[in-house]
Structure 1
Amino acid sequence: MSFDLVSAPWLRGLPRSGEPAEQSLQDTLLNAHLIEGLSLPSPTMMPAVLRQVLLPVVVHALGAPRSLGEWKNWFEQDGFSSQQREKLVVYLDEHRGCFDLLSDRTPFAQVAGLETPKGETKSVALLIPSMASGNNVPVFSCLTEGETLELRPAEAALWLLHAQCWDTAAIKTGAVGDDKMKSGKTTGNPIGPLGQLGVVMPLGRTLYETILLNLPVDYDGQAARGVPRWAAGPVAAAWESRPARDLLDLWTWQSRRIRLIAVETPDGPRVTRVVLAAGDRLTATPPFEPHTAWTHVAKPRAGQSPRYPRRHRSGRSAWQGLNALLALAVPEESDGVSTSLLLRQAGELYAQGCLPADYPLRVATYGVEYGNQSAVVEHVMADEVPLPAAALAASHQDLCQLLLEAVMQADRAAFSLDRMLADLRRAAGGDPLPRDKGGRPGEVLLHTLDPWMRRLLAGMSRQPDDIDVLEAGMSAWEEVVWREARRIAAELLAAAPLTAFAGRVKKAEKGEKKDVYRSATADRALTGALRKILPRAAEAEQERQAERNQTSSTSLKEEASV
């Protein structure tokens, strides 16, 4: 059996026109300028496919741009040049044997002949976090572990790459040839390399532009000297703990030793079983990791790194983390955050005129939240937001500050609503909700504001240099936040019991003032907070109130004269 990833269709592209269709690796790269993106079974497959296959093939076959000017030349080609296309075809043909998914000698991203001491295999569902397998028992699963799951080779290839990047931690099956195996098992396995990051990935208008935006400019030629894993020789069952040697080594890291087992069926080969064992362990995330933002600690504890990848938080949209995405300066003497290498590079490209002023840059974020000793997947996080490239340039810090101001306003307005709910509960004779229990009006507000924030970001991307347009956008944004916060507050007041109207007086302790909690007091506190948080909307509201007062006064005078 054989499945040649170079020529067999397995990547479903989204063309600018026409119906989505599976394409081979070669066709996907050669037609990357005609494809908007990839349609994959799981959003977390996108960084896996890019890092494990597309980016390494391009860099190893063509090299990476050696300067911003060379990057600009690639960008203005709007697709690989005829010479580059020829090099890609020659490269893939020379390495075709490394890209056979079902090969007996050099299976792609696998170990040939990998087996356990007892010759055991497991269901291929082990590669799919959403399906029941072993201790992984999702609440909803389309089949049980006792049923047979058959995957087309195209599907199995995607889940294979996904496992190499995102697999869970804990105990793994031992493999013959693994000298660190004890009692048929290998313990202490970390989660996959991408699971240790909050993945941040710039996206372009086409797959070709996305590939370019994810290529770090190779100023010192380090990437050109690197070798992807498939070109370094067959992978053995034995594994090691070591740092990444270079970018291509990092991108094609084999965090697991895997062998797919296929059977022949009337419909062609189907992968039904798998052997999954321990793989290489990264001793630390290297500083040249391009797909993550960073947290900096000025005074780390003993044994702690002063710089480590910043993880995403479940339940938060990508725009709520703009403070990290837009943090261009690297903290040196204080705690703080800094953005990813590729977003910083995008800002440099914009500043040097390599990207158009109105370029519709998008940023995708991916992450996995693990549970129960990182042995199961609790949540998968994936989001995508428009982001003005100008905000990543040091010369446009005014735009950056406006974006951060908008995020801060949303967070503070949400906090004010939560505080109002706590005051209403006190006024009714109860206690505030515990931090980790119950629904929050602030969360409702942030969910309501989500499409408006994305609209604001998209609008600022189109005209990042027009200060009048930016101010008008901020004014409209504040009006929306004011309106939605007041709407949610009205619902809270309507739901409050009558006892909250009369209120409650908290007894004063020694040296403290009495606290009076009433629904009217809570409403007044929220209004005062919104006036401070949303100065533009507060001024507009004041003007509208003055107009209403003037209209009312005129009406009274007319009635009196009659």
Structure 2
Amino acid sequence: MNSEGDLVHGRWLDAVGRDGVQQAVGLLDALSEAHTIRRLELPVHTMLPVVLRQLLLPVMIDALGLPRTRQEWGERFHRGRFSEDERDRLAHYLGPRYGDRFRLFDPQRPFAQVAGLEALNGETKTAAQLVPSVASGNNVPLFSALSEADELLLMPGEAALWLLHVHCWDTASIKTGAVGDPQAKNGKTTGNPTGPLGQLGVVVPTGETLYETLLLNTPIWADGLEPQDRPQWAWDERPAGLGCMPAAQPVWSERSATGLLDLLTFQARRIRLIACETEQGTRVHRAIVSAGDRLAQTPETEPHTAWQHTAKPKKGQPHRRPRRHTSGRAAWQGLGTLLAMTLPVESDGPYTSLLLRQIADLQRGGVLSGRYRLGVETSGLEYGTQSAVVENAIGDDLPLPLRALLAQDDGLREVLLECVDQADQVARALDGLNNDLRRAAGGDPLPRDKGSRPSARFLHGLDATMRRLLAGLRTVDEDDEELLERAQLAWEQCVQMAADREAESLLAAAPPRAVVGRTVKSGDKEFVYRSGKAVGVFRTRLASILTRVAEERSAKGEEAAAA
């Protein structure tokens, strides 16, 4: 990127081409040549939705408009690239129309910032406050290579990415009071929520090229965009009656999003990057992060989250709220949520994202092939201490068989959900075995929130197997019941072997006194715990879960007896 921080033409986004070659591109090239790009190489998993929402999607949608029918979406998708007319419109949008608004260090209108923003105390902070993995203030990661006293120098491209990351994922900590902000008190602003994405379990469908990923993340709206809906760089074009505060000024408000473009580019903070010149070029070394707009409520038009539906919510609460990811769980363990295509009107339960429902509709309408190689990336942040610090980052990606997004009674869907459920049941059975062995040895079961559990090791060991299963099932025909049955048997065999390994490890670690065991009284009842009995209970439980393997073993036993 050049010294002016030109996001349109400066080479600041690392892109991996379809040939595997990595090169740096600017915003215009990333869009115009999206069909040649396999993926963007970004510093952290939580950055993909940031770049999509704050830059690529709103530029594309505002310049070209939303598709209004499945057929229009399909024509764009199957073309596989932007047409010459669309490329010209993108170039005009990022050139004569708004090109000057994508400059990181513009003195009058710096991109996604407030020009001349000043703290009430006159101080600035290190650029580390932009990066969650670097120590800053109360946010002190355990393995941070830098302390708050160290100076962090960000290249312009890096600074641009972390600037947008703050707008999406920032913590809810106290923010610096800004000069000109009437709501700042005693030099600070309290009560800040996290960034909008910090309140979601983000789900991003992905394709085989960046172009396909952009289309898969583009909603189909029959009426198109709202007339008053504008992205953050065109805030001055919003009608005054909407009550939106200028994004380029210190003032802010709590409000609803005025439309899709506003939602995607929501300015949750007021920020100013401060650059210096070094021997290596322009670097961002200081920053001011102040309170920004607060999203009153996540709208149901939010495309990048699954939902938790509550049939009878408490007074004043909506029926649907964003569903967050669970820390420590792989994305495939949440397939029940990703594949929840039907709204549970009469009961509580999950409901998948708007975009995955749209993709299912596109397949149902014949626009997308059932063999399309769909992927899903999930991301989220886990906050701690009143959401003022980042405790953990959640990120995963997995192949997803497209046919599994169809009818609720679809065979492929049932196969996948059964496989996930089997893994979960076996994991719990292993934890039960571990607790019984601990009791037999004279100890107590592990507390629910402490200790290393065999279930975690078991599920981690199954991860690669599940991903191979998902990738293989993407090409299975819906009526190929025999192949599905063979796939389930192969899955159960892998689960059985993984469970056997873990059980043998637990039994080997049990002390000799576990063989004799002990008797535990609980009220009027007595319970006998011995290692042999614990293993027997576990084997019985395993056979009831992995029924195909059990039947296969039984059949082989009968054949051997007959011989």
State which of 193, 216, 219 in structure 2 corresponds to 1:216.
219
State the 1:519 CA deviation.
1.3
1:287-318 deviation per Cα after TM superposition (whole angstroms, max 9, x unaligned) = 10010000111222233332110011110000
1:196-275 correspondence to structure 2 within 5 Å: 196-222=199-225, 226-233=229-236, 235-275=248-288
Which residue does 1:507 correspond to in 2?
521
Q: 1:46 is matched with which residue: 7, 29, 48?
A: 48
Comparing 321-330 with 433-442, greater Cα deviation is found at 433-442
- Matched residue, 1:428: 441
Counterpart AA for 1:338: Y
The yes-or-no answer on 1:19 pairing with 2:31 is no
Structure-to-structure mapping, 1:334-353, within 5 angstroms: 334-353=347-366
* 3-state SS of 2:174 partner: strand
Partners in 2 of 1:508 and 1:196 — Cα distance? Answer: 43
Distance 2:431 2:120 in 1: 57
Distance in 1, Cα, partners of 2:158 & 2:523: 66
Q: Secondary structure at the match of 2:191?
A: strand
3-state SS, counterpart of residue 328 of structure 1: coil
Q: For 1:453 and 1:548, locate their aligned partners in 2 and report how far apart those are by CA, in whole Å.
A: 32
> How far did 1:4 drift?
1.2
Per-residue CA shift, 1:79-123, capped at 9, x if unaligned?
111111111111110201110110011111111111112321111
Tell whether 2:521 aligns with 1:521: no
2:240 aligns to what?
Answer: none
Question: Deviation digits for residues 242-267 of structure 1, max 9, x if unmatched?
Answer: 01111110000000000111122333
Structure 2: stretches of 5+ with no match in the other structure: 237-246
Q: Deviations over 1:153-176 (max 9, x none)?
A: 111000101011000112100001
- What is the match of residue 72 of structure 2? 70
Note closer, same or farther for the CA distance 1:118–1:487 as it changes in structure 2 (3 Å cut). closer
Percent same amino acid among aligned pairs?
A: 53
1:60, 1:224 within 8 Å by CA — same for their partners in 2? Answer: no
String of CA shifts for 1:216-253, please: whole Å, max 9, x gaps: 11222235752111012362110000011111100000
Show the 5 A alignment for 1:135-174: 135-174=138-177
The Cα shift of 1:44 comes to 0.7
Asked whether the equivalents of residues 390 and 396 of structure 1 are also in contact (C-alpha less than 8 Å), the reply is: no
Q: Distance in 2 between matches of 1:30 and 1:547?
A: 64
Map 1:388-399 to 2 at 5 A: 388-394=401-407, 397-399=410-412
Listed as ranges, the matches of 1:470-485 within 5 Å are 470-485=484-499
> Residue deviations 1:384-418, cap 9 Å, x none?
01111111112762211111100000000000011
Counterpart of 1:285 in structure 2 is: 298
Secondary structure of the residue that 1:462 maps to in structure 2?
A: coil
What SS does structure 1 have at the residue aligned with 2:474? Answer: helix
Contact 2:38 2:209 in 1 (8 A): yes
Once residues 466 and 475 of structure 2 are traced to their aligned partners in structure 1, the CA distance between those partners, rounded to angstroms, is 15
Partner of 1:8 in structure 2? Answer: 10
SS of the aligned residue for 1:442 comes to helix
User: Compared with structure 1, are the counterparts of its residues 29 and 62 closer, same or farther at alpha carbon in structure 2 (3 Å cutoff)?
Assistant: same
Q: TM-score, normalised by structure 1?
A: 0.95
Q: What residue is the counterpart of 1:534 in the other structure?
A: 546
2: CA distance, partners of 1:424 / 1:18: 50
Q: Distance in 2 between matches of 1:527 and 1:148?
A: 58
Determine if contact 2:67/2:224 at 8 Å carries over to the other structure.
Answer: no
Q: Which amino acid aligns with 1:521?
A: K
**Structure 1, 248-257 or 540-549: larger mean CA deviation:** 540-549
Partners of 1:546 and 1:515 lie apart in 2 by 35
- Asked whether the equivalents of residues 65 and 225 of structure 2 are also in contact (C-alpha less than 8 Å), the reply is no
Distance 1:100 1:491, change over 3 A: same
Q: 2 CA distance for matches of 1:317 and 1:531? A: 25
Equivalent pair of 1:365/1:383 in contact (CA under 8 Å): yes
CA positional deviation for 1:436: 1.2
Matches within 5 A, 1:460-475: 460-465=473-478, 466-475=480-489
Deviation at 1:422, TM superposition (A): 1.0
The amino acid across from 1:327 in the alignment is A
**Please, which moves more after superposition, 113-122 or 446-455?**
113-122
When Rg is computed on C-alpha atoms for both structures, the one with the higher figure is 1
Distance 1:39 1:508, change over 3 A: closer
Match of 1:490 among 504, 509, 518: 504
Paired residue total:
549
Query: Could you tell me how far 1:442 is from its partner in structure 2?
Result: 1.2
In the alignment, what sits opposite 2:239? none
Distance in 2 of aligned mates of 1:521 and 1:546: 26
SS at match of 1:274: strand
Kindly state the Cα deviation for residue 448 of structure 1 after the two structures are TM-superposed.
0.8
Superposed counterparts of 1:75-224, under 5 Å? 75-93=77-95, 94-222=97-225
Counterpart contact for 1:63–1:224, Cα < 8 Å: no
- 1:491–1:121 Cα change, 3 Å: same
Give, in angstroms, the shift of residue 503 of structure 1. 2.0
Cα distance in 2, alignment partners of residues 387 and 30 from structure 1: 27
Which amino acid counterpart does residue 198 of structure 1 have in structure 2? G
Q: Is the 8 A contact 1:388 1:464 kept in 2?
A: no
- Cα distance in 2 for partners of 1:196, 1:357 equals 32
Match of residue 319 from structure 2: 306
How far does residue 469 in structure 1 lie from its aligned partner after superposition? 1.5
The answer (yes or no) to whether the contact 2:342–2:408 under 8 Å persists in 1 is no
TM-score (norm. length: structure 2)? 0.95
Q: Secondary structure at the match of 1:273?
A: strand
1:357 and 1:542 map into 2 onto residues whose CA distance is 37
Q: CA deviation at 1:425?
A: 1.4
Deviations 1:123-144 (A, max 9, x none): 1111011112222222222222
Report deviation, 1:368: 0.2
Residue deviations 1:416-449, cap 9 Å, x none?
Answer: 0111111111122222111111111111111111
Distance 1:293 1:395, change over 3 A: closer
Q: Find the residue that maps to 2:298 and give its secondary structure.
A: coil
Distance 2:409 2:235 in 1: 44
Q: Is the 8 A contact 2:228 2:258 kept in 1?
A: no
Superposed, which structure 2 residues align to 1:316-395 within 5 Å?
316-394=329-407
1:347 and 1:394 in contact (8 A); partners too: no
What RMSD, in angstroms, separates the aligned Cα atoms of the two structures? 1.5
CA distance in 2 between counterparts of 1:32 and 1:301 reads 45
Distance change >3 Å, CA 371–CA 241, structure 1 → 2: same
Q: Residues of 2 paired with 1:45 and 1:57: CA distance?
A: 17
Of 394-403 and 34-43, more deviation after overlay is shown by 394-403
- 8 Å Cα contact 2:219/2:303 also seen in 1: yes
Q: Output the amino acid matched with 1:97.
A: D
Distance 1:452 1:223, change over 3 A: farther
